[in-house]
Structure 1
Amino acid sequence: MLFRVDAASALSLAEQIAVQVRAGVAGGTLVPGERLPPARDLAKALQVNMHTVLRAYAQLRDEGVIEMRQGRGAFVRQDAGPGLIRVTELAEQLMDEARKLGMSQQDLVRLIGGVGHA
């Protein structure tokens, strides 16, 4: 998979990398179990700081899209696919809307936990 970043973009460099990985998983370009480029190599190829790539990988790990294996690199999770990517995007949109309304993440989790139980 070919990665690109645009320094003029409104998105941070790390977010641009994360978006491309999510799109690759959703579109089938990146398949479960596939190894992502080592952070050092990708940083060098994109001419960005290695910590920028690591930040993107950490975000994707936290979203459940990839897993990081000590000393072996980052891999697309076996259960990652278009459905997970879509739900993650919707969750981010929901959290953004909740913040605009002054709700905390805990408020939103409580609200979601009660959905369908009323």
Structure 2
Amino acid sequence: MWRIDPTTDEPLYAQLVAQVRLGVAHGALRPGERLPSARELAASLDLNMHTVLRAYQVLRDDGTVELRRGRGAVVSAAAPDLTDVERAVADLAAAARRAGLSTQTTTTLVTEAMNR
């Protein structure tokens, strides 16, 4: 489940955040499930442990995980439901393909919309 692409412009911690959110949305990560410790995940991905901790803090702040002393990061029972967002993104991707837009152009449009 854990993959990092150091060649992209997206920060490494943000890539981890996105993977956890997708894992929750697709049911690969369920409420109560424990994520790897920051140390374990950092070692397995050859990352700085603070990068993983930053990702876990972002996920804590948005309610996706709970950080529990002694247990680490655990998927929250109140993790955001991304079903509607996934549906909207699938519709957007289909519309972009029909319009002949590239992935890069579509991504730019989404980024601009998110920053408004």
Using the size of structure 2 for normalisation, the TM-score is 0.71
Letter aligned with residue 96 of structure 1: N
Q: Partners in 1 of 2:55 and 2:84 — Cα distance?
A: 15
Identity of aligned residues (%): 49
Q: Where does residue 72 of structure 2 map in the other structure?
A: 73
Q: Partners in 2 of 1:60 and 1:30 — Cα distance?
A: 13
Letter aligned with residue 6 of structure 1: D
RMSD, aligned α-carbons: 2.1
Q: Where does residue 53 of structure 1 map in the other structure?
A: 52
Q: Describe the SS at the equivalent of 1:82.
A: coil
Q: Deviations over 1:34-53 (max 9, x none)?
A: 00000000000000000000
Q: Describe the SS at the equivalent of 2:14.
A: helix
* Structure 2 contact 63–79 (Cα < 8 Å) conserved: yes
- Show structure 2 runs of 5+ residues with no match: 86-110
* Structure 2 contact 34–71 (Cα < 8 Å) conserved: no
* Structure 1 contact 17–53 (Cα < 8 Å) conserved: yes
Q: Describe the SS at the equivalent of 2:67.
A: strand
Residue 82 of structure 1: how far off its partner (Å): 2.6
* Structure 1 contact 26–85 (Cα < 8 Å) conserved: no
Q: Deviations over 1:12-61 (max 9, x none)?
A: 00000000000000011000110000000000000000000000000000
Runs of 4+ in 1 over 4 A off after TM superposition: 92-95
Q: Where does residue 96 of structure 1 map in the other structure?
A: 115
Q: Where does residue 43 of structure 2 map in the other structure?
A: 44
Residue 93 of structure 1: how far off its partner (Å): 7.7
